[in-house]
Amino acid sequence: MTALPSARGAARAMQAGVDALVVVLCVLVAAGGGVPAALGAAFAFVYAVGRFALGGVVRSEARPAVRPAVLGWAGLLTALAVAAALAAPAGLWLAFPVFLVQLHVLPAVAGVVAVAATTAVTVAVGTSRTGASAGAVLGPVIGAAVCVGVVLGVRAVIAEAEERRLLLQDLVEARSVLAERERADAVVAERERLAREIHDTLAQGLTSIELVLRAADVALAGGDLARARDLVATARTAAAENLAEARAFVRGLPSPLVRAGLADALTTLAARTTERTGLAVDVRTSGDVHPLPEQVEQALWRVAQQALANTAEHAGARRATVTLSYLGDAVALDVVDDGRGFDPAAGRAAGRGRGLAGMSARVEELGGTLHVESTTGAGTAVAAEVPV
């Protein structure tokens, strides 16, 4: 990632200022006279070589370790400036670009020390030539102080911009990690949803068909061809219904039964369960029956379907009761059977109970709750409540 525009802009502006200052001061030194032309030209040449060969005086990136070549360049410019000051009063002007070079190429403390030393030499040269006047002392001192303030201020701005750049880089990386984690979580959630839908449609339908065909096989073994034909016809009907459920799932539509209303769908489900498994199922409603949001009806329908399938397959029950209660700001569904019951905690510990986990996930997605109460030998009660 490149430096922030503010850091690059400050560095470029400062570099341009230093370059302009060197040009102007070299012109002033040449115009002032007394300084050998070769000495002035050598100063300008050394500055230009270092300026372009060493990457410039001012840098916007994080400050690297000081290289020997840079130290040699700054030292040579300092020596040439001192020589020019000794040659003539006009040579003192070259001390100011040297201050800037020292402050930029050296660490902060070392740069200030170098500027102070160069200032002391400049003041000594000036006072030895003209005496201890205010101009000879205050001119170099004030110039050095201004250079120190400006350069340290710019370096502080550049350092702050660099810190902001690093913070922004960390933020971008953190957002990338967060986005990848959210994507992975979304993939897992979608897989869970697909597994739940497949379990509640294809798996339940195939289980029902398998039970009916098993009964048809028993009827055939007993010579009851009429009963066997009826059971095969029931299995075919179940297969067609299961195919319709699967197609609705793929298209993102509710179960075909639910489209007619939840109460009617539960009545149909009870009749089919009784026909295919022999489990007697009663459906009861309480409260003011009214249409519910589609997702609520679909979730409660799946809960009832799964609960009755579990009862028929595992509970050994003779009777089950499905109660749909309209509670005003909520709707409740209870499925109670008189089967053998089980220990819910033991089932979860053994890693079983995908059906129960799926029911709970459906209800919780709608902000509802699902409770399962069961005791071995005393039946099972599944209670779901969803706000509407």
Residue 260 has pLDDT above 80, yes or no: no
pLDDT score for 325: 94
Residue 241 has pLDDT above 70, yes or no: yes
Residue 4 has pLDDT above 60, yes or no: no
Q: What is the mean pLDDT of residues 217-233?
A: 87
When the pLDDT of each residue in the chain is averaged and rounded to a whole number, the result is 81
Which of residues 93 and 251 earns the better pLDDT score?
93
Residue 285 has pLDDT above 90, yes or no: yes
pLDDT score for 255: 65
Lowest mean pLDDT across 60-64, 93-97, 140-144, 312-316: 60-64
Q: What is the mean pLDDT of residues 194-200?
A: 70
pLDDT score for 350: 45
Q: What is the mean pLDDT of residues 114-129?
A: 84
Q: What is the mean pLDDT of residues 70-93?
A: 84
Residue 292 has pLDDT above 60, yes or no: yes
Q: What is the pTM of this model?
A: 0.48
To the nearest whole percent, how much of the chain has pLDDT over 90? 13
Burial grade of 178 (CB within 10 A; 0-12, 13-18, 19 or more): exposed
Q: What is the mean pLDDT of residues 179-208?
A: 78
Identify the bridge partners of residue 385 per DSSP, sorted by sequence position: 332, 369
Q: What is the mean pLDDT of residues 167-186?
A: 90
pLDDT score for 335: 94
pLDDT score for 375: 83
To the nearest whole percent, how much of the chain has pLDDT over 70? 86
The interaxial angle of helices 354-365 and 294-310, nearest 10 deg, is 160
Q: Which of 63-67, 192-196, 270-274, 353-357 has the highest mean pLDDT?
A: 270-274
Taking only the tens place, the pLDDT of each residue in 322-372 is: 999 999 889 999 999 998 888 777 655 444 556 788 888 889 989 999 999
pLDDT score for 6: 53
Which of residues 14 and 218 earns the better pLDDT score?
218
Taking only the tens place, the pLDDT of each residue in 97-117 is: 888 888 878 888 888 898 898
pLDDT score for 5: 46
